[in-house]
Amino acid sequence: MENPYIIPRIMNGEDLVLADDANNDHQILFDLTLQLQSVISTARYYRDRKGLAINHETADHVIDALDDILFNIIRPHQEFIDEALAKDQEISNV
């Protein structure tokens, strides 16, 4: 998949990087990641203390689902952002 933050330019060979959008999205993903990690921590707390009277595995399911969101949704998006910001830095240094 092509990086949505990097728009190839045919004319002069330089790519256009949507750095402002990448920085904005980085802040949002950072906030979401912190919140998800907080929920994971809370779920682990209750799991470790056997906080659920019935269906003890529910906490494990919550932890697994949130880990999947972090790994399969947020991480790939963050990789696009990191690549775009590195490209922007490279262009700025030329």
State yes or no: pLDDT of 10 exceeds 70: no
What gap in Å lies between CA 82 and CA 21, rounded to an integer? 12
14 to 7, 42, 84: CA distances (angstroms): 9, 47, 13
Res 25 pLDDT > 90: yes
For the cut 80, the answer to whether the pLDDT of residue 62 exceeds it is: yes
Average of pLDDT values for 52-81? 97
In whole angstroms, what is the distance from residue 18 CA to residue 85 CA?
Answer: 9
| In the block, residue with structure tokens 């529910």 | 58
- DSSP letter (8 states) at residue 13: S
Q: Does residue 44 have a pLDDT over 90?
A: yes
* pTM for this model (two decimals): 0.86
Mean residue pLDDT of the chain comes to 93
* pLDDT average, residue stretch 70-79: 98
The encoded tokens of residue 11 equal 């004319």
Amino acid at 39: V
